[in-house]
Amino acid sequence: MRRIGVAILGATGSIGVSTLDVLQRHPERFRVVALTAHRDVESLFRQCLVYEPDYAAMADTNAAEQLQDRLRSVGRSVEVLAGVEGLERVAALPEVTAVMAAIVGAAGLPPTLAAARAGKRVLLANKEALVMAGPLFMAAVREHHAELLPIDSEHNAVFQCLPPTFVAEGLDAVGVRRVLLTGSGGPFRVMPLDRLPEVTPEQACAHPNWSMGRKISVDSATMMNKGLEVIEAHWLFGVAAERIEVVIHPQSVIHSMVEYQDGSVLAQLGNPDMRTPIAHALAWPQRLTSGAAFLDFTQIARLEFTAPDLARFPCLTLAFAALAAGGTAPVILNAANEIAVQAFLERRIRYTDIQAVVQYTLERVNKRPITSLADILDDDTQARSVADEWVVAQVGGLP
């Protein structure tokens, strides 16, 4: 059997590491063709030694040079590429069939779009590709006959609960009433509101159920992550915002649900382990072992569901508003959030300032229809500048 060539964009992050774990369990089915990272030379170097890719790419040019020197010093002939162009090249390699798009943030958009335009099976863990460029990205998928499979546990769960014909027929034709995205509520689900300004980056990154990177962990705490997932679901499944509901589910056992017109609700369950959706997307429409522990129903004491408290999670409201506004509003939302989260992680602003930065930026950057990638990148740049101005002018530094 011919092995499937895989490129991993963002190989040193949590999704990339989990993907490599699944791949190494099935060496007869998959081959690692390319690995990429931003500037973590040491981690990518070690991965190249273990998985022996043909290509490695680093977004940071200096880091790419360091990686090339390290690999040459041990006699490895991996071809090292640099910059956005290098990332885009490995995403479109002819020997690559499947591309794991796991670069966090706006930086993941160009190579993920390149994979779609190359007609690859795109395993989408980078939600910003759809948040920022939903109409352009989906048009590229259709035009170039790419195969789009979601990796986010929520969207992968929805995908598993839908009939295969939904892509061609639409949700109405297959009887879908609404999509329910579950969220754990993060580490501050029950913390008194007056204590939220005191939250530290360490507390925000200590997710109760999932092992994730720092940025996405903060997004989970604010539920901006869920808001971005609402926008992503809109484009992935062609579902209107008013037919998407967010439900707090602290146990993270049900990863999302689909409700049908006849009153049936289909749910996908499993232990909170990203290797499950990764394995599902790699093998689809078949199944393979992922390494995730199997669910033991006798150990589940209860399953709880509540509506999100919008006073606690104002970022969720901002995301729904950006989706309703359309055009580049989600671009501005995402860019401002990235600036705000980074400032919080650097202790330059408080946890509760994150939503203030995003709201301020949304109110001051003009939105416009998306006609090209240039529109997206221009508004992304402008939004980052405005958000950073808020951080510098209103806060400065915190003791």
Output the DSSP codes for 241-264: GGGEEEEE-TT--EEEEEEETTS-
Q: Which domains does the chain have, with CATH numbers?
A: 4-150 (3.40.50.720), 153-273+294-322 (no CATH), 326-399 (1.10.1740.10)
What does the alpha-carbon distance between residue 324 and residue 231 come to, in Å, rounded to a whole number?
A: 10
Report which residue type is found at 293. Answer: A
What does the alpha-carbon distance between residue 189 and residue 58 come to, in Å, rounded to a whole number?
A: 37
Please give the model's pTM, rounded to 2 decimal places. Answer: 0.91
The whole-number pLDDT of residue 2 equals: 83
Which pLDDT band, with edges at 50, 70 and 90, does 289 fall under?
Answer: very high
The whole-number pLDDT of residue 211 equals: 64
Please check whether residue 38 is in contact with residue 13, taking contact to mean a CB–CB distance below 8 angstroms.
no
The 10s digit of each residue's pLDDT in 52-102 is 999 999 999 999 999 999 999 999 999 999 999 999 999 999 999 999 999
The 10s digit of each residue's pLDDT in 306-321 is 999 999 999 999 999 9
